[in-house]
């Protein structure tokens, strides 16, 4: 054991009541700061994952559309038979390539009327998102003959008074009014009320007939990706593949993505990022300055000891190391307990959903949590470095201590 480490351990053993109180305040402040930082990061990561997954569940991560048109286009179709389809499907991270057709319609009841976009999908469409959000009934089956089954959101059915199995009469207004009767086979609740309240899922062949389109004509193509895939990176990659592989027979299509379509949702998440950065900075500063207070108390209490150590030949740097080791022990204790408290509270929320939220305001019904081991390790590393860097400033006081004066201090 080095001399500095040995002396630091003896200082710890001999702390008086006042010193122990300041030490307790120091490591508890570090504990609380680390716990709050872990919770803040986990909550923001949870919001990002939940909202991104739900938005991409509705529309896919990346979309191919007619130039100047949105993915909800119902006027200008294009053929889904594109020469570069297999190139995109072979790209790492891509899990689906689906043509969808859209048509707006009105649902009228005796007491209410509601406008919806009907999303036409085929038998190969990936229903995993709607399966996860299904709260009543069952998913539609679009194999075989054209199906009249549709999915509606809980928001819409609550507003219009529909239940699973009810007939739903829809009016499609264009050059002429077309009336169709559908059967409500299932109700979903994705908790993105703004989108839920505007979307129904129907058989694509129905929508194509209503629009007067051929069987291969669609409004947009949705490209789905694995969780965690960067939307921006995949969007750029798809754009590159389209540019390099498009043939003369292919329609000229524009590449867009879910962030462009639902920009307000992702802007809200970006605002959360800014808030978390301020929380992290504030918590590190609070922990650092509480550590400085504790170390300064120890320094003033041990000022005669500092003078004695200098008189015995220890340099200011070596004496500073003694107190830095003491500070490191306090910070380490605080960070250990901070991780236990922060991760523990996150796990409780993750498995019990004890803290509820209003989906109309927060898009989810409980506080979402996502813990990431690399993120936790990086947070602890940065916090430890910054806290010790702040504490190092307080030990500069040691270089000003004069042995001939301090050895007379009792």
pLDDT tens column, 11-34: 554 555 656 777 787 788 888 888
Could you read off the pLDDT of 250-270 as tens digits, one per residue? Answer: 888 999 998 888 887 777 777
List of residues 6+ apart from 194 with CB closer than 8 A: none
- Round to whole Å and give the CA distance between 410 and 404: 13
> In the predicted model, is pLDDT for residue 102 greater than 60?
yes
Could you read off the pLDDT of 310-337 as tens digits, one per residue? Answer: 666 666 677 667 777 777 788 888 889 9
- pLDDT score at 23: 75
Q: Is the pLDDT higher at 392 or at 40? A: 40
- Round to whole Å and give the CA distance between 185 and 164: 6
Among 22, 29, 9, 13, smallest CA distance to 297 is for 22
Read off the pTM: 0.76
Are 187 and 70 in contact by the 8 Å Cβ rule? The answer is: no
Which residue has 């048109």 as its token pair?
69
- pLDDT score at 164: 95
Could you read off the pLDDT of 271-285 as tens digits, one per residue? Answer: 777 777 887 788 877
User: Which residues make beta-bridge pairs with 366?
Assistant: 356
Largest CA distance in the chain: 102
Confidence of residue 200 (pLDDT cuts 50, 70, 90): very high
Mean pLDDT of the chain: 83
- pLDDT score at 302: 63
- Round to whole Å and give the CA distance between 120 and 255: 20
Are 166 and 103 in contact by the 8 Å Cβ rule? The answer is: no
- pLDDT score at 198: 87
């Amino acid at each position: 054991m080095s001399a500095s480490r040995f002396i630091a351990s003896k200082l710890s053993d001999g702390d008086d009541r006042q010193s122990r109180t300041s030490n307790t305040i120091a490591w508890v402040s570090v504990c609380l700061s680390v716990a709050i930082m872990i919770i803040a990061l986990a909550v923001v990561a949870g919001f990002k994952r939940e909202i991104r997954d739900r938005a991409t569940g509705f529309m896919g991560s990346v979309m191919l559309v007619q130039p100047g048109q949105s993915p909800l286009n119902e006027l200008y179709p294009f053929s889904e038979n594109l020469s570069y389809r297999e190139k995109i499907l072979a790209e790492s991270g891509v899990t689906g390539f689906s043509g969808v057709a859209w048509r707006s319609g009105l649902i009228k009841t005796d007491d209410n009327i509601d406008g919806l976009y009907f999303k036409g999908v085929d038998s190969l469409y990936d229903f995993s998102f709607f399966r996860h959000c299904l709260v009543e009934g069952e998913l539609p089956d679009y194999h075989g003959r054209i199906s009249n089954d549709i999915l509606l959101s809980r928001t819409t059915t609550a507003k219009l008074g529909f239940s699973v199995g009810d007939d739903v009469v829809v009016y499609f207004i264009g050059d002429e009014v077309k009336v169709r009767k559908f059967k409500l086979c299932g109700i979903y609740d994705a908790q993105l009320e703004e989108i839920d309240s505007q979307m129904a899922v129907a058989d694509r062949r129905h929508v194509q007939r209503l629009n007067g389109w051929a069987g291969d004509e669609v409004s947009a193509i949705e490209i789905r990706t694995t969780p965690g895939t960067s939307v921006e990176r995949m969007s750029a990659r798809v754009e590159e593949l389209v540019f390099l592989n498009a043939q003369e027979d292919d329609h000229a299509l524009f590449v867009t993505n879910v962030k462009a379509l639902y920009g307000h949702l992702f802007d809200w998440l970006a605002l959360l990022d800014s808030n978390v950065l301020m929380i992290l900075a504030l918590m590190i500063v609070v922990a650092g300055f509480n550590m400085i207070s504790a170390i300064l108390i120890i320094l003033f209490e041990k000022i005669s000891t500092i003078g004695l150590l200098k008189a015995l030949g220890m340099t200011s740097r070596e004496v500073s190391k003694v107190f830095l080791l003491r500070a490191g022990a306090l910070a380490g204790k605080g960070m250990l307990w901070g991780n236990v408290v922060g991760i523990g509270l996150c796990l409780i929320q993750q498995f019990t959903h004890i803290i509820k939220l209003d989906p109309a305001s927060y898009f989810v019904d409980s506080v979402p949590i996502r813990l990431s081991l690399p993120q936790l390790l990086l947070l602890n590393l940065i916090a430890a470095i910054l806290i010790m860097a702040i504490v190092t400033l307080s030990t500069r006081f040691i270089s000003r201590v004069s042995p001939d004066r301090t050895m007379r201090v009792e």
